Structure 1
Amino acid sequence: MARPAAVPAPALDWISTYRLSASPPPPSLTGDKLLLPQAALEKLLEAASRAASNRLQSENHDPDSWDTVSPYEALNGSSDARQQLPHPLIFRVTNLTNGRTAYAGIREFSAEDDEVVLSNFLREGLAVPTSEDEEDESEEEEPIDIKIEAANISKGTFARLRPLDAGYEEDWKPILENHLQKNFTTLAVNNILTVPPLAHQRTSGQKDFKFLIDQVKPEDSEAICIVDTDLEVDIEPLNEEQARESLRRRELRKSAESSSGGLINTDGPKEGMISEGAYVHFHLKDWDPSKPISIQVPEDNIDIMVTTDAMQGSPDMEAWTWSRFDGTKSIVIMPDDPNVQSAKEIKISLHVYEQSHTDEDSKEPTPATEHFWLSVTQSLEDDEDDGDTAMSDDNPDNEICPNCKRSIPKQSMFLHQNFCVRNNVLCPHGCGQVFKKGTETDHWHCTECKAFGTNQPSRDTYSKHMNIAHTPRRCGSCDYSAGSLAELATHKTTTCPQKLILCRFCHLIVPQEEDVDFTAAITGLTPHEQSCGGRTTNCHICRRIVQLKNMETHLKNHDYERKSRPLPRICRNVNCSRTVGPASPSDNQLGLCSVCYGPLYSSTYDPTGATLSRRTELRYLTQLLRGCDKPGCTNEMCKTGRANRKPPLPVISSKEATAIVKPLVTVEGLQGGYTSHPLHFCVDEATQKRKNIAEMLSYTDDSNSQGGWAIEWCTKAVELVSNEATDEAELANKARDWLEKFAVRRNE
């Protein structure tokens, strides 16, 4: 009997009315999302249960059919259906005050009882007055009732958007796809879709993109669902007036365009231009890790932000590891800094803090360009500031001026004091700065820290310092509140759950997530990597199932075992391609493998080895006088092998053969094993081919160019994989793979 298919979630019959929350929506409530109270979830589950029961009761089952569902299975299916809600859960939202409607998806069931919280997008679509509008009215607004009803709309296949403003560029697609995927469940006709620009576009002054949802398909519906569907999006072209204005703005930006940045090294400075409010990004990929890195821009109105490749993207005002916002000081990164020890790249961003000027034609901000010189140097010498050397002059002919604290020759002190007291003012706060009378009011000392500076006509350095060092800031990705820009930057580059990382397991750029149990500091893995690394895979060496996050340690153990293996012992027969076991038996004193020693074996008691010596002599003489008749033999101690040589070697007579063999078969020489002369016994053609492959592997380097492997390891590799290969090329490849995994290289 066939089992019933999974019970789909039924359409819900649910309507309720809530009071619109007076509080503004939280930052996390974006797109077409809303918040409902917990009681709404219980009512939705009850509605799903009723819909499932009604559907099951209305179904007609033929008792004679093979597809009849048993009462037990029907009961299980009903229980499953009662626990399911439609996905996605979509609502039709109506403002009962003015009759405006919109479609929405659910974010959470965390609103207060009898209240609904709407996103700014929904509030605009329902024509709900904003908090700014309410402040302008003297009378208090009456509560607004919002009707929420479950809706079942079609999956969308097409949407046409119409740009509403000039300045629209052609790189809309990745921005739009990312915005819709993260924030929207539905698209309704005649709604205005506001898409914020990406981070790098926002820093260059790019405004939000606004589009009118002009048409959707299927055409018979006023709204479509865009979740789990392939949606085709089309953008209407700009009209003539919009296109002309976009071209004018593009030309205006191009005239004040910043330099493109790029690679930088320590052999010389980089020159370029930077627009006010914009960024120029550089990358340092080659430096001496034993020396400090000094990064400097002489222009004191250009800020420097620096980070490493541990952070995805380039640094900006709110995300950096090292920075300089206070004049011409350089950034010095020491070699023992843990942030740079494992870095493969250092990212440098330059930024001008001042606000942009205004273009008279468009009355919009227009960036002005500034010239800069960026230098990255390395030196072991300390480049300390010696600006106070004049104050510490030990010349006995000089004395310190009581007004400006400078060292002045004694004979000139009277004239100097007359001029200095009339024209100069020493800072009373003790910073040592001397000013011309009338300009001391531009000098400031921070009341909350030890910083000081001087305002300039074009730059308010005090306001900049207060904004950077003492203005509370909130992370735009989470609920973290920072007391200063430095605290916010530290948060964004370390513990922020939305910090983007390149996951070492799934190899995707994803948020690192929140470290709730403090394991990241212990394991070095972000919370996402802890979860992603819990998946398992087979070790390519031992084929065991290992978690991805434990694979590095597992492979280190394999590497330790590999380096601890002793060098294999190969057969004493120079024509053989086999290895000998770690402990040779007492009856194999010759150091031969079992195949080569087989013809010489005898069970006769031979304590002196004389009998073994005679058998070895007989085998040599047989080879030299009769031959082995093997077509591939090239053994120089065999008649057949000598004939197969190119050019052929002369035939040896009995007397000559006896004279050659006698020194080779002495008892002392044979029992010397590896410490004595090699043996020359004939082998089959397959063994000779394996020996040639082993020699070829030993002559070549490994894939890591670390010197390759000794002939002993190559011989063992060919021996172990010979039964798995079908031809010589496959045998060589498999042997090389075995060597990479298990053999010890020459330089290890």
Structure 2
Amino acid sequence: MSHVQLAVGEVVDATNWKVDLPESILESLSSESELEYPLIFALTSQTTKTHVGVRQFSAPESTITITTPIAQALGLSIGDIVKLKHTSLPKGSAVKLKTETALDWKPLLERWLPTNCTALTVGDTLMVSYLGQLHKAVVEELEPENAVCIIDTDLDLEIVGGNQQFDTLTGFEYDMPIALSEVPLTKETPDYLFVEATNGVLYVGPELATSRESFTYRITGTRELTASDLKKLGPSFSVCGYGMATLTLAAPAVESQEGSKLCPVCSKWVPEQSFILHTSFCQRNSIKCECGQVFSRQIPSDHWHCPVCSANGVGFEEAHLKEHEPSTCSCGFEDTFLNVAYHRASDCPERIILCRFCHLSVAQEIASAADKVLGITGHESHCGNRTADCHICGRPVRLRNMEAHMQQHDVQRRSRGTPVTCKNQNCVAIVKDESNALGLCSKCFGPLFSLDNDPDGSRLRARMERKYVLQLSTGCGKSWCTNQYCRTGTGIQRSFKDVLPIVKELLLMNAFYFCVDQIMAKKAMFVYEDGVYDRAWRSMAITQCSNETEAEEWLQTHAPKLGEAV
């Protein structure tokens, strides 16, 4: 297809790099050769060239509909002429972007690029929408060429510029940096948080909060955030603000202390030996407000009490009263500012979460009653409809039901009956049927079997006695033998006189110690080297699997541990 000149008919206010073309372009391509997907077109203005994908072939004849980023990149406006040519590009392998925005770009672009771009060209400016804001990223370098196709390929992403090592504890700074003390460098939400912001305003919210409106708490004065309050923030949190403030990850004050008395003025626990001196000083120099706060000599003029709730503080009263002002979430939810902040941090369908199935930062969407029972969001309900084969039973299971499915396997594992093993302590064979009274497997009982009539078992006992005497006196002669009741295994030479008492003791036992072959001896070493699983389960594992690694994996998914069976 040769160059085609088209006039810009419309500039759409969108962020994607795709255009609308006339239907005649598709007919021309179809008549020349078989179409190769994805369709990529080179757009050339008087000074600049870029590459775009096609959204649909519905534009008026001889015109092209472009988006705002394309118009800005090529310097075009409505009525300008642009050259169009169908082309093919190599698959991209690496992209380097330059940005001034501190974002976790990788999961964001994994979701945004495939739906908004077909190709990239060095110099393109991407306008990525995230949390209601547009963020710019300029394509600086591409591999293997300066223009590549990004469909059905893996791209190595490198970000240049922006604070990529953003610390979620210091949060987003506004007017002045906030002074944080006694706060460990951790992103995890604690069980308790004591906040003192007497000389400023402090904002506490989820880790993904990007504006003052998206923070859950606006704090002035002193406030204790308990576990139930912090639960609304998720597994990690951000703090920001202006002025000076202190955060303390300390336990709340105890109600009483041994050897101390409670001061009636300042409500602090004071050692008994200094109680009289302390209370005398407090009564002369302190004044207690009706809200419970104690001040030195007089109550400050800017001390306030909220008429709506029980909050109080010194200064920044307007900042607190804003919590009670009407507010509207971007999803349409209306309530007070504080309740809307709670809503954004919990139930808002536009709240950004990290999906447990696709591992991308996405809007959580509206969850149904069934989803809430399962503890998943609306997005995870749709995303979890994909199936994966269970590694235990091999059946296809929906991702959202995989946890319950694995719990079912775990119940089955813990409730399985213990298998019956051969009573020969050197053998690990599983006895599937009780074909002999001794409880031995067929291989161990074979040398003792006889067709002679033996109603009282005396002949069987004599054969067992003879076998033990030979083991202890002459040995089995097998170099791998480790049997403790065999001369070959122990290397101990005994006389006939010393052997007989040992044999009589062995015949009284409810277990046997006969020599086995080399393969069985090696399996027995695996069975007795661990104290986590019962011997019977380790015996079954090593007999059903081809090697010890597979046997260990089999035990984890099929066998109950010691003390775990139900």
Which amino acid in the other structure matches residue 487 of structure 2?
R
Q: Provide closer, same or farther for how the CA distance between residues 741 and 495 of structure 1 changes in structure 2, counting only shifts above 3 A.
A: same
For residues 489 and 684 of structure 1, the distance between their equivalents in structure 2, rounded to whole angstroms, comes to: 72
Partner of 1:642: 487
| TM-score normalized by the length of structure 2 | 0.66
For residues 334 and 177 of structure 2, the distance between their equivalents in structure 1, rounded to whole angstroms, comes to: 24
C-alpha displacement of 1:323: 1.3
For residues 394 and 123 of structure 2, the distance between their equivalents in structure 1, rounded to whole angstroms, comes to: 58
Q: Provide closer, same or farther for how the CA distance between residues 520 and 117 of structure 1 changes in structure 2, counting only shifts above 3 A.
A: farther
Partner of 2:496: 652
Q: Deviations over 1:292-312 (max 9, x none)?
A: 6243124252213144xxxx5
Which amino acid in the other structure matches residue 681 of structure 1?
F
Answer yes or no: is 1:87 the counterpart of 2:36: no
C-alpha displacement of 1:735: 2.9
Contact 2:222 2:313 in 1 (8 A): no
**Match 2:514 to one of 637, 661, 681:** 681
Partner of 1:319: 214
Q: How many residues align?
A: 514
Q: Provide closer, same or farther for how the CA distance between residues 54 and 651 of structure 1 changes in structure 2, counting only shifts above 3 A.
A: same
Partner of 2:560: 744
In structure 2, stretches of 5+ residues that fail to align are: 257-263, 266-282, 284-288, 294-299
C-alpha displacement of 1:110: 11
C-alpha displacement of 1:381: 5.2
User: What is the correspondence of 1:417-428 to structure 2 with a 5 Å cutoff?
Assistant: none
Q: Provide closer, same or farther for how the CA distance between residues 152 and 535 of structure 1 changes in structure 2, counting only shifts above 3 A.
A: same
Contact 2:422 2:441 in 1 (8 A): yes
The secondary structure found in structure 1 opposite 2:186 is strand
For residues 33 and 466 of structure 1, the distance between their equivalents in structure 2, rounded to whole angstroms, comes to: 47
Q: Provide closer, same or farther for how the CA distance between residues 103 and 604 of structure 1 changes in structure 2, counting only shifts above 3 A.
A: closer
Q: Provide closer, same or farther for how the CA distance between residues 186 and 471 of structure 1 changes in structure 2, counting only shifts above 3 A.
A: farther
C-alpha displacement of 1:560: 1.1
Contact 1:283 1:348 in 2 (8 A): no
The secondary structure found in structure 2 opposite 1:152 is strand
The secondary structure found in structure 2 opposite 1:734 is helix
For residues 376 and 322 of structure 2, the distance between their equivalents in structure 1, rounded to whole angstroms, comes to: 34
For residues 658 and 235 of structure 1, the distance between their equivalents in structure 2, rounded to whole angstroms, comes to: 82
Partner of 1:616: 464
For residues 681 and 103 of structure 1, the distance between their equivalents in structure 2, rounded to whole angstroms, comes to: 79
**Match 1:470 to one of 314, 325, 344:** 325
Answer yes or no: is 1:376 the counterpart of 2:249: yes
The secondary structure found in structure 1 opposite 2:437 is coil
The secondary structure found in structure 1 opposite 2:537 is helix
Contact 1:18 1:148 in 2 (8 A): no
Partner of 1:500: 352
Higher relative contact order (CA 8 A, sep 6+): 2
C-alpha displacement of 1:551: 2.3
Q: Provide closer, same or farther for how the CA distance between residues 732 and 91 of structure 1 changes in structure 2, counting only shifts above 3 A.
A: closer
C-alpha displacement of 1:537: 3.2
Which amino acid in the other structure matches residue 341 of structure 2?
A
Q: Provide closer, same or farther for how the CA distance between residues 116 and 286 of structure 1 changes in structure 2, counting only shifts above 3 A.
A: closer
Q: Deviations over 1:582-621 (max 9, x none)?
A: x523xx1112222111122234554433333233334334
C-alpha displacement of 1:681: 2.2
Partner of 2:259: none
For residues 55 and 336 of structure 2, the distance between their equivalents in structure 1, rounded to whole angstroms, comes to: 31
C-alpha displacement of 1:349: 0.9
Partner of 2:442: 594
Which amino acid in the other structure matches residue 470 of structure 1?
E
The secondary structure found in structure 1 opposite 2:425 is coil
Percent sequence identity over matched residues? 23
Q: CA RMSD in A?
A: 6.1
User: What is the correspondence of 1:271-290 to structure 2 with a 5 Å cutoff?
Assistant: 276=175, 283=186, 285=188
For residues 569 and 631 of structure 1, the distance between their equivalents in structure 2, rounded to whole angstroms, comes to: 29
Which amino acid in the other structure matches residue 609 of structure 1?
G
For residues 102 and 688 of structure 1, the distance between their equivalents in structure 2, rounded to whole angstroms, comes to: 72
Q: Provide closer, same or farther for how the CA distance between residues 155 and 174 of structure 1 changes in structure 2, counting only shifts above 3 A.
A: farther
Partner of 1:301: 200
Q: Provide closer, same or farther for how the CA distance between residues 121 and 737 of structure 1 changes in structure 2, counting only shifts above 3 A.
A: closer
Which amino acid in the other structure matches residue 519 of structure 2?
A
C-alpha displacement of 1:380: 8.0
Answer yes or no: is 1:334 the counterpart of 2:228: yes
Larger radius of gyration: 1
User: What is the correspondence of 1:225-624 to structure 2 with a 5 Å cutoff?
Assistant: 228=151, 276=175, 283=186, 285=188, 293-307=192-206, 313=208, 317-320=212-215, 322-334=216-228, 339=232, 345-352=235-242, 370-379=243-252, 461-462=317-318, 464-465=319-320, 468-470=323-325, 472-473=327-328, 475=330, 480=332, 482=334, 484-496=336-348, 499-506=351-358, 508-512=359-363, 514-515=365-366, 520-581=371-432, 584-585=434-435, 588-624=436-472
Contact 2:172 2:239 in 1 (8 A): no
For residues 556 and 528 of structure 1, the distance between their equivalents in structure 2, rounded to whole angstroms, comes to: 23
For residues 687 and 31 of structure 1, the distance between their equivalents in structure 2, rounded to whole angstroms, comes to: 67
Contact 1:93 1:103 in 2 (8 A): no
Q: Provide closer, same or farther for how the CA distance between residues 296 and 612 of structure 1 changes in structure 2, counting only shifts above 3 A.
A: same
Contact 1:717 1:738 in 2 (8 A): yes
Answer yes or no: is 1:733 the counterpart of 2:557: no
Which amino acid in the other structure matches residue 392 of structure 2?
I
For residues 235 and 625 of structure 1, the distance between their equivalents in structure 2, rounded to whole angstroms, comes to: 78
Q: Provide closer, same or farther for how the CA distance between residues 273 and 536 of structure 1 changes in structure 2, counting only shifts above 3 A.
A: closer
For residues 446 and 197 of structure 1, the distance between their equivalents in structure 2, rounded to whole angstroms, comes to: 38
Partner of 1:366: none
Q: Provide closer, same or farther for how the CA distance between residues 694 and 565 of structure 1 changes in structure 2, counting only shifts above 3 A.
A: same
Partner of 2:15: 30
